[in-house]
Amino acid sequence: MKGGYDYIIIGGGIAGSFLALELSKSSKVLLIDKGPLLGGATGSSAEIITLQLPKPFINWALESIKIYEEIGAPLKRMEAILATNEKCAERYLKILNSVNVKSWILTRSEASRESGLTLKGSNYVYLATLDALLEVGKLGNLMRLLLTSNNADIIEYKEAKIKDEKIKIGEEFIEPTQAIIVAGGAWTPYILNIKAEELAGSRIYKCEAHSIDLGKKLKTIFYEDLSGAYMVPESSKTATVGDGTNVAISKPEDGFVPTPGSVYEVLEGLSRAVADVENAIPRTSWAAPCLISGDGWPIVGNISERTYIFTGFDGVGLMIAPALARMLSAHLLKGRKLPQKIYPLRKVKPWEGPPKEPPEPYRFGC
């Protein structure tokens, strides 16, 4: 195997790929994935880029959108409608206005017309804004092209292990001159041979999504905010649906097995706001492992002099990972400080998940 790398990144999901892209502008980079680039959780995502995020994450999300636009990523801006209560609508409006993101209140009939859905429920306030969908499948090819033109090397379908601060691929060892960055998503603790809890009290759980036959065209992204369920247009009569249900798993591979019947919980949440969902037919379900820290903040920084971690994105990786990749790259290349609150070995009580309150950045008070 060729040597001479400044940085070696393990894991080519949204996190590792964008970090490789940033670092390869001025350094020699090797990116390794045991599957295809942008497979893992990234390849199974519902592709939503939303700004209805905890306040501390919004600036990262805006920066990520800028980065997607800079590289010509297949990002489609799309109206999103949030069915929520009055208190939350006010809260979201205030947050979105403070970062100059256009958002406005719709009546139920306007929201029905815009979304193409028959909306019901008397207590909802409908908040519209502009979200985006990222075509992850197309981004993979663009990423290979961009990385190759920056002279980065990519190894796909090869598993990497770490031993004594060296990387083992098959029978060969390789060592970078500057740093190893583990961006292995839910596999990160396994790559490092440590317990998930040791990384900021993190835990591994299953993120799930489903395809449903809606029988009509959904024209916007739609969220039932009170149950946390979302709907994304798929083809002319189908939609992708999901929610933030948290099912802990003991090893990442279990994260690929969808929970039987979980689609019905999502449909139940959505059916409080959307009449059409009552007749929807579930088609397929899929799942992948996600990782969340005990306090909900991402996990970014070094755990030894030359070994870095870049993970902990819960269900918002597409929105915040590119911005954090730029931040980590500025730290590695220019010595810029990283915020202490995302330091990987911070002491945090492990995340226990619902029904308790969500961890800190997700506490909207809604």
Ligand X SMILES: Cc1cc2nc3c(=O)[nH]c(=O)nc-3n(C[C@H](O)[C@H](O)[C@H](O)COP(=O)(O)OP(=O)(O)OC[C@H]3O[C@@H](n4cnc5c(N)ncnc54)[C@H](O)[C@@H]3O)c2cc1C
Interface positions with ligand X (CB under 6 A): 10-16, 32-35, 39-42, 44-48, 159-160, 183-185, 187, 191, 207-209, 242, 287-288, 290, 311, 313, 315-319, 321
Q: Alpha-carbon distance 96 to 79, whole Å?
A: 14
Residue closer to ligand X, measured from CB, 88 or 209: 209
Cβ atoms within 10 A of the Cβ of 303, count? 17
Amino acid at 187: W
Closest distance of CB 287 from ligand X, Å: 6
Closest distance of CB 120 from ligand X, Å: 25
3-state secondary structure of 247: strand
Q: Alpha-carbon distance 206 to 255, whole Å?
A: 5
Residue closer to ligand X, measured from CB, 39 or 54: 39
Residue closer to ligand X, measured from CB, 22 or 125: 22
Closest distance of CB 8 from ligand X, Å: 11
Q: Alpha-carbon distance 203 to 118, whole Å?
A: 38
Residue closer to ligand X, measured from CB, 40 or 201: 40
Residue closer to ligand X, measured from CB, 125 or 296: 296
* Token pair 């090797």: residue: 30
Contact 182, 307 (CB under 8 A): yes
Helix H or strand E encompassing 154: strand 153-155
Closest distance of CB 226 from ligand X, Å: 19
Q: Alpha-carbon distance 232 to 46, whole Å?
A: 8
Residue closer to ligand X, measured from CB, 34 or 326: 34
Closest distance of CB 177 from ligand X, Å: 20
> What are the Cα distances from residue 129, in Å, to 81, 99, 123, 212, 235?
7, 13, 20, 24, 22
Closest distance of CB 32 from ligand X, Å: 5
Listed residue (238, 355, 361, 227) closest to 294, CA to CA: 361
Q: Which neighbouring-strand residues pair with 162? A: 167
Residue closer to ligand X, measured from CB, 15 or 181: 15
Closest distance of CB 202 from ligand X, Å: 12
